[in-house]
């Protein structure tokens, strides 16, 4: 069973089992939500990420949350938007799916996603939110797994886009 909701918040403040980081393939930090998560988690997060040897676009890897209220961080790498003709939607869907697979494999129950790829990577929020909601909705956890998924929006505009889809 999977439940979906959307909130406007700073994802680093959410006390969930895991927050998802919109990282880059080096996993060595950056700006945007990646920068905010590393700042809030502290230097141990970067040390843990160094041991992961990067992450391909569309894949996901997990670390502890360290100083974050969230117990874990699931790092995923979204596609850069190039107009939609280079498989961006499939790669973005894979980010959400692989994060959910990792969360259920670790027995996590509450999970929060930022709007992956919709900042620096330029993916239009309306198109990205459709991919996000349909991919999460279409995920069927193993029998008995319960997943509460929160789409954590950083702006009222983004919250409105997700709310209209939920
Ligand atoms: N909490 C929740 N959402 C946030 C936060 C935050 N503290 N900070 C930013 N966001 C939102 C942005 O407003 C945007 O909607 O996260 C979404 C994703 O934007 P980016 O962080 O720019 O991520 P992305 O577009 O996937 O680009 C990834 O940016 O920071 C670098 O290292 C990162 O190279 C990678 C690239």
**Confidence band for 145, pLDDT divided at 50, 70 and 90:** confident
Give yes or no for residue 114 CB within 6 A of ligand 1: yes
The pLDDT tens digits of the residues spanning 59-94 come to 999 999 999 999 999 999 999 999 999 999 999 999
Catalytic residue among 34, 44, 142, 148: 34
Cα(122)–Cα(65) distance, rounded to whole angstroms?
27
Active site residue 148: no
146 CA distance to ligand 1 middle (Å) = 27
Evaluate: CB of 132 within 6 angstroms of ligand 1: no
* Per-residue pLDDT reduced to its tens digit, 154-166: 999 999 999 999 9
Lowest mean pLDDT among 47-56, 106-115, 122-131, 141-150: 141-150
CA-CA-CA-CA torsion sign (51, 56, 61, 63)? positive
**Secondary structure of 93-153 as H, E, C letters:** HHHHHHHHHHHHHCCCCEEEECCCCCCCCCCCHHHHHHHHHHHHHCCCCCCCCCEEEEEEE
Q: How confident is the model at residue 138 (pLDDT cuts 50, 70, 90)?
A: very high
Which residue among 6, 24, 32 is best mutated to probe the pocket of ligand 1, counting the most ligand atoms within 8 A of its Cβ?
32
pTM assigned to the model: 0.98
Give the three-state DSSP class for 4. Answer: strand
pLDDT of 54 reads 98
Query: In which residue are the tokens 């969930």 written?
Result: 16
What domains, with CATH codes, occur in the chain?
2-165 (3.40.220.10)
Q: Is the CB of 141 under 6 A from ligand 1?
A: no
């Amino acid at each position: 069973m999977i439940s979906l909701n959307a909130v406007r918040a700073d994802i680093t403040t959410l006390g969930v089992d895991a927050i998802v980081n919109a990282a880059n393939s080096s996993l060595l930090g950056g700006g945007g939500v990646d920068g905010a998560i590393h700042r809030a988690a502290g230097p141990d997060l970067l040390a843990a990420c160094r041991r992961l040897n990067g992450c391909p676009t569309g894949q996901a890897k997990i670390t502890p949350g360290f100083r974050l209220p969230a117990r874990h961080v699931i790092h995923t790498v979204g596609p850069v938007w190039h107009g939609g003709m280079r498989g961006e939607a499939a790669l973005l869907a894979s980010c959400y799916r692989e994060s959910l697979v990792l969360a259920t494999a670790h027995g996590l129950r509450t999970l929060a996603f930022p709007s992956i790829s919709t900042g620096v990577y330029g993916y239009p929020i309306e198109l990205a939110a459709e991919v996000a909601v349909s991919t999460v909705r279409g995920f069927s956890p193993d029998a008995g797994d319960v997943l509460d998924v929160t789409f954590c929006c950083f702006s009222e505009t983004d919250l409105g886009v997700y709310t209209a889809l939920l």
